[in-house]
Amino acid sequence: MAEKKIGAKAQSFTGLSTQDKLKKVGDLLLNNAMYIIIILAVIYISIKVPAFLGLPSIVNVISLTAAKLPIALGIGGCIVLTGTDISAGRVVGLTACISASLLTTTFKVFPDMTSAPPIFVVLLLVLGTGAVVGLVNGFSVAKFKLHPFIVTLSTQLIVYGIILMYLKNGTNNGQTLSGLSDGYRALVTGTLFKIGNVAVPRYVLYAIILTVVMWIVWNKTTFGKNMFAVGSNEEAANVSGVNVSRTIILVFVLAGVMYAITGFLDSARIASANAATGFNYECDAIAACVIGGVSFVGGIGRISGIVVGVLLLQIIFAGLNFLSVDANMLYIIKGLIILIACAIDMRKYLVRK
Amino acid sequence: MEEERSPRPLRGLYDRVNISVGTLNIVIIVLVAALLVCFAYGIAHRGYTITFDSLGGTAVESRKQMYGELLEEPEAPVREGYVFDGWYRDQNTAYPWNQEEDVITESMTLYAGWKEL
């Protein structure tokens, strides 16, 4: 009855009865509940702590968004395939530890080494590591037809074990890796440009490049189109000649590469890496994707949505940080945000049915 | 043929969703309310807890401070045979807390550094 969605929305709105109007407003409020909460929270926080709207704080939020963007761009592809990837955080941890152990001045993990290998070589090694984990994930999902939750749960544990053993190597004895080489740190955290006297780090530029690359991959390549086809209907994609297995494997490999980039940037950004690096990163990334409209229904999602999702999450958490809200409470808030985002996402498709 | 194959609106992880829009609306409202309660609780109990581990010295009480503040240094602990040489971020006392520059950004534990007399 009220499904007059075609044509001029405003005109049809005025033509509706009061009850239908209320229904429409209710729909609007519920479907955008997450954005409304975040906007209200930002307003409240900026009144309470005006420094939240200051330049250093804004640059901080942008930098944090840039740091968390690659992993979300990777996981986004897995969600488009109606899957997910909970090994992401640990892959970030492993690649961060590998980068920190090689591009260092102390060489605790490899005591026999005297000079750091070229940064480019380490980057390739790290990307390879991420790709291998992605390959294992993708192969198991595509060929064993196991649910990605189960597959990536096992790789998550395996990768964590590898991190712990890797950190026991040499004279390190499981300690935090620090003392990173200047070249590596400068490459990632060096100043891109300055606004006033607040420096914008270089990894913001890398995040922008990655976003553009992923946008092209998702929207302009056959692989991207196949990914959406497989995500929305695997059987139909298969019938129309898409190599479903190869597409799934490639999506997970690409995701693994994105986690590796996150790890490579993260260890230089934090200036250290340990077994806890990357822990729970996948939760933030999955939450960001769902908030940004990458749906668990499959085959639906946009790069711009992921960027907005990551940004909104970082804004809200930076704000809560400004308010000195305890980290324990942040876990509960994160969990609720994921649940609400999923419920809202579900609602959109239920209403359409 | 193709028409029949057109995907159902609910698929993927939502394949087996078994809830009406009305119930889902209530769920969303309840969850949003829960989120707001969490915000309110977090803001009412705001402040990061700084715990001091004196590593064998006299106990030092923990305290609450706000984001971005400098540490309000507590009274130095005492330990027989040692002299206190400041607070450290880690148990191995490798990374000292810089009283002039470091600001509080999270709940944390600081460890006492001791030098033998």
The mean pLDDT value of chain B amounts to 84
Mutate to test the interface with B, among A24, A230, A324 (most CBs of B within 10 A): A324
Mean pLDDT, range A258-279, rounded to an integer = 94
Residue B5 lies in a domain: no
Asked if residue A116 has pLDDT above 90, the reply is no
**CB half-sphere exposure, A10, CA atoms < 13 A:** 0
Mean pLDDT, range A8-32, rounded to an integer = 78
pLDDT tens readout for residues A35-68:
999 899 999 999 988 889 999 899 999 999 999 9
Mean pLDDT, range A285-310, rounded to an integer = 93
How would DSSP label each residue in A218-263? HHHSHHHHHHHHHHH-HHHHHHTT--HHHHHHHHHHHHHHHHHHHH
pLDDT at B3: 38
Residue B67 lies in a domain: yes
pLDDT tier for residue A353 given thresholds of 50, 70 and 90: low
Asked if residue B30 has pLDDT above 60, the reply is yes
pLDDT at A3: 45
Listed residue (A142, A317, A157, A326) closest to A237, CA to CA: A142
Mean pLDDT, range A149-165, rounded to an integer = 95
Residue B3 lies in a domain: no
pLDDT at B11: 76
Of A32-41, A277-286, B1-10, least confident by mean pLDDT is: B1-10
Please indicate, yes or no, whether residues B91 and B52 belong to a single structural domain of this protein. yes
pLDDT at A13: 66
* B35 in contact with chain A, both atoms CB, cutoff 8 A: yes
pLDDT tier for residue A202 given thresholds of 50, 70 and 90: very high
Asked if residue A158 has pLDDT above 70, the reply is yes
Q: Is the separation of the CB atoms in B1 and A332 below 8 Å?
A: no
Of A240-244, A286-290, A326-330, least confident by mean pLDDT is: A326-330
Could A297 and B10 be called an inter-chain contact, meaning their C-beta atoms sit closer than 8 Å?
A: yes
* B78 in contact with chain A, both atoms CB, cutoff 8 A: no
* A310 in contact with chain B, both atoms CB, cutoff 8 A: no
Could A296 and B13 be called an inter-chain contact, meaning their C-beta atoms sit closer than 8 Å?
A: yes
Please indicate, yes or no, whether residues B34 and B56 belong to a single structural domain of this protein. no
Domain boundaries, chain A: 46-352
ipTM of the complex: 0.82
Please indicate, yes or no, whether residues B79 and B111 belong to a single structural domain of this protein. yes
Asked if residue B2 has pLDDT above 80, the reply is no
Please indicate, yes or no, whether residues B72 and B86 belong to a single structural domain of this protein. yes
Asked if residue B8 has pLDDT above 90, the reply is no
Please give, rounded to a whole number of angstroms, the shortest distance from the CA of A125 to a CA of chain B: 31
pLDDT tens readout for residues A89-110:
999 999 999 999 999 988 888 8
- The domain that holds B85 is classified in CATH as 2.60.40.4270
Please indicate, yes or no, whether residues B71 and B94 belong to a single structural domain of this protein. yes
Please indicate, yes or no, whether residues B55 and B111 belong to a single structural domain of this protein. yes
Which two three-digit tokens encode residue A181? 């080489």
Please indicate, yes or no, whether residues B65 and B88 belong to a single structural domain of this protein. yes
pLDDT tier for residue A348 given thresholds of 50, 70 and 90: confident
Please indicate, yes or no, whether residues B52 and B69 belong to a single structural domain of this protein. yes
pLDDT tier for residue B1 given thresholds of 50, 70 and 90: very low
Residue B2 lies in a domain: no
The answer for B 7-26 residues in CB contact with A (under 8 A) is: 7-14, 17, 19-21, 24-25
Please give, rounded to a whole number of angstroms, the shortest distance from the CA of B90 to a CA of chain A: 11
| Residue in A with minimal Cα distance to B44 | A325
pLDDT tier for residue A4 given thresholds of 50, 70 and 90: very low
| Residue in A with minimal Cα distance to B67 | A324
pLDDT at A111: 87
Please indicate, yes or no, whether residues B18 and B68 belong to a single structural domain of this protein. no
Separation of alpha carbons B76 and B72, rounded Å: 12
Residues of B in contact with A340 (CB under 8 A): 28, 31-32, 35
Nearest to B28 among A239, A330, A347 (CB): A347
Rounded to two decimals, the pTM is: 0.87
Q: What is the dihedral of CA A61, A67, A69, A70, to 10 degrees?
A: 170
Please indicate, yes or no, whether residues B63 and B110 belong to a single structural domain of this protein. yes
The mean pLDDT value of chain A amounts to 91
pLDDT tier for residue B7 given thresholds of 50, 70 and 90: very low
A to B CB pairs, distance under 8 Å: 117
pLDDT tier for residue A131 given thresholds of 50, 70 and 90: very high
Residue B84 lies in a domain: yes
Range of the domain at B52: 48-116
Please indicate, yes or no, whether residues B22 and B78 belong to a single structural domain of this protein. no
Separation of alpha carbons A290 and A148, rounded Å: 17
Residues of B in contact with A326 (CB under 8 A): 42, 45-49, 107
Could A324 and B66 be called an inter-chain contact, meaning their C-beta atoms sit closer than 8 Å?
A: yes
Mutate to test the interface with A, among B5, B8, B10, B14 (most CBs of A within 10 A): B14
Percent of all residues in chain A with a pLDDT value above 70, rounded to a whole number: 96
Residue range A46-352 in CATH 1.10.3470: yes
Which two three-digit tokens encode residue B15? 């394949």
**β-sheet bridge partners, residue B110:** B52
Mean pLDDT, range A117-145, rounded to an integer = 95
Neighbours of A337 (CB within 10 A): 26
Q: Characterise B111 by phi-psi region: left (phi > 0), alpha (psi -120 to 50), beta (else).
A: beta
pLDDT at B106: 86
pLDDT at A225: 95
Residue B6 lies in a domain: no
Buried b (16+ CB within 10 A) or exposed e, A188-226: bbeeeeeeeeebbbbbbebbeebbeebbebbeeeebbeb
pLDDT tens readout for residues A168-191:
988 888 888 988 999 999 999 998
Mutate to test the interface with A, among B19, B32, B88 (most CBs of A within 10 A): B32
Residue B109 lies in a domain: yes
Q: Is the separation of the CB atoms in B47 and B106 below 8 Å?
A: no
Structural domains in chain B (count): 2
Residue B4 lies in a domain: no
Mutate to test the interface with B, among A350, A351, A352, A353 (most CBs of B within 10 A): A350
- Higher model confidence: residue A151 or residue A18? A151
Q: Exposed, middle or buried, A16 (CB in 10 Å: 0-12/13-18/19+)? A: middle
Separation of alpha carbons A93 and A176, rounded Å: 12
